[in-house]
Amino acid sequence: MAKTSIVSGFYKLPLKERLAIIKDFAGLTDEEIRLLENTGSLPFDVADHMVENVIGVFPEPLGVGVNFLINGKDYLIPMATEEPSVIAAAGYAAKMVRDGGGFHTSSTAPVMIGQIQIVGIKDAKAAKKQVLDAKAVIIKKANDQDQVLNSFGGGAKDMDAKILDTSLGQMLIVELYVDCRDAMGANAVNTMAEAVAPQLEQLTGGHVYLRIISNLATKRLAKAWCTVPKESLGGEAVVDGIAYASAFAEADPYRAATHNKGALNGIIAVVLATGNDHRAIEAGAHAYAALKGRYTSISKWTKNKNGDLDGVIELPMAVGLIGGAVKTHPIARIAMKILNVKSANEFGEVLAAVGLAQNLAALRALSSEGIQRGHMSLHARNIAVTAGAKDAMIDLVAAQMVKERKVRVDRAKEILDELCKKQ
Ligand code: NAD
């Protein structure tokens, strides 16, 4: 029987029961469950090999977004984030989207762009022609660097060159287009860019400085779309509110930055949980949002002819199933197993769907009751802890602040004092 990601009241279950559900859904082993339960699961020697100057590890909460149905397949979404309400909101939005048939997705081939910067060229036009005439030789040199990638059907597939007018004069920028298959690809592409540089210097008589991947991965895009029934959202007025919010973000970069941040709240949580490079995704998303010369939103919501809500998101998605920290971090490996994606493309599409869900949840709240009620009631426990509450006192102090609609540290301290006196 196909497994479902619908788990109502997941947040109310004790940890053991939550883990039993995940174990069953993802086929986790007892050892993997033990690692999840142990909040210090990144051993020093592993961490010490990952980065430099290690003095400890920095744990973040890991949760799962429930209810996701993407292209007819159920997913539980592992999410690592320090921000309350993100994971709950993702599951809430996924449930509404599910009412309309779930998310649909598509993506381009996993092609990344490697840039080689050539300066000091006398005739840029002639140099460009020389480089393009030698395309086959340069691509072969690039592909000599990574037999493993070639064996998976990846590798440098094409190349182009552009003349750039800059404050320091003209430069020739050569771009390698590399199919990275299931890798994010930065190391693979950078190696190729460095390998072809001497040949490019010879051909052009110029000097190569930079040889590096571009995070504006316009050839590696993921797209997700959905239709949400108006009844699931709470009526046509909410649909109108979300459409107006979307138009606002499309027209105003100040709003677009926050609109996009809302979508990235979900995407980055998954990217982080899986040991992928979240800076690459952030950089790509924002640069893509500004590609047409003015920063705008990466998603769009409109009312369709039935009065329901249509949503779509598209952004660069440079993520991998191998490489980087994906296979070294023990919890990232488990997160990947929970996610159960078979290719980097499927992974990117799931991330786009998560971004769309997160964006929807934020816009629904913003265009109706505002985000503060839900957000602050989940944040209240953090405030209670900041005020010094421990154990059972945390929930008591938080509940009282939410009841009073005064979620503040000073009020938390007063409530805590009052409760302590009563004991
Ligand atoms: P990597 O070099 O660790 O792994 C990629 C390699 O794995 C491929 O080159 C290939 O040889 C091999 N491979 C095995 N199975 C494969 C498969 N199924 N599909 C594709 N390749 C397969 O990592 P990477 O993905 O090249 O680079 C990612 C790392 O680079 C991240 O840690 C990132 O943080 C870092 N980085 C990023 C930037 C940037 O974004 N600007 C710059 C430098 C480094």
Please give the radius of gyration of the chain, using alpha carbons only, rounded to the nearest integer: 24
CA of 194 to the centre of ligand 1 (A): 15
Nearest CA to ligand 1 atom 30: 186
- Residue 121 has a pLDDT of 97
Nearest CA to ligand 1 atom 2: 187
Query: What single-letter DSSP state applies at residue 101?
Result: T
- Residue 379 has a pLDDT of 81
Task: Please state the rounded mean pLDDT for residues 298-326.
Answer: 96
- Residue 75 has a pLDDT of 98
Instruction: Quickly tell me which residue has 């003349």 as its tokens.
Output: 163
Residues labelled as active-site residues? 83, 261, 277, 375
Amino acid at 211: R
CA of 360 to the centre of ligand 1 (A): 32
Residues 161-199 have pLDDT tens digits of 999 999 999 999 999 999 999 999 999 999 999 999 999
Report residue 324's pLDDT band, with 50, 70 and 90 as the boundaries. confident
- Residue among 391, 388, 387, 394 nearest 411 (CA): 387
Residues 386-397 have pLDDT tens digits of 999 998 899 899
Helix (H) or strand (E) holding 47: helix 44-50
Residues 8-64 have pLDDT tens digits of 889 889 989 999 999 999 999 999 999 998 877 888 888 899 999 888 888 899 999
- Residue among 154, 146, 160, 153 nearest 180 (CA): 154
Residues 241-292 have pLDDT tens digits of 999 999 999 999 999 999 999 999 999 999 999 999 999 999 999 999 999 9
- Provide the percentage of residues in the chain whose pLDDT is more than 70: 98
Q: Evaluate: CB of 277 within 6 angstroms of ligand 1.
A: yes
Q: Which of residues 156 and 9 earns the better pLDDT score?
A: 156
Which of 144, 149, 341 gets mutated to test ligand 1 (max ligand atoms within 8 A of its CB)?
A: 149
Closest ligand 1 atom to the C-alpha of 187? Answer: 26
Report residue 377's pLDDT band, with 50, 70 and 90 as the boundaries. confident
Report residue 105's pLDDT band, with 50, 70 and 90 as the boundaries. very high
Inform me whether the pLDDT recorded for 240 exceeds 90. Answer: yes
Range with lowest mean pLDDT among 117-121, 168-172, 322-326, 346-350:
322-326
Amino acid at 80: A
Helix (H) or strand (E) holding 204: helix 186-204
Amino acid at 323: G
CA of 86 to the centre of ligand 1 (A): 29
- Residue 403 has a pLDDT of 87
- Residue 304 has a pLDDT of 98
Helix (H) or strand (E) holding 243: helix 236-251
Q: What is the pTM of this model?
A: 0.90
d(CA 93, CA 356): 9
Residues 344-375 have pLDDT tens digits of 999 999 999 999 999 999 999 998 876 566 66
Task: Please state the rounded mean pLDDT for residues 193-213.
Answer: 98
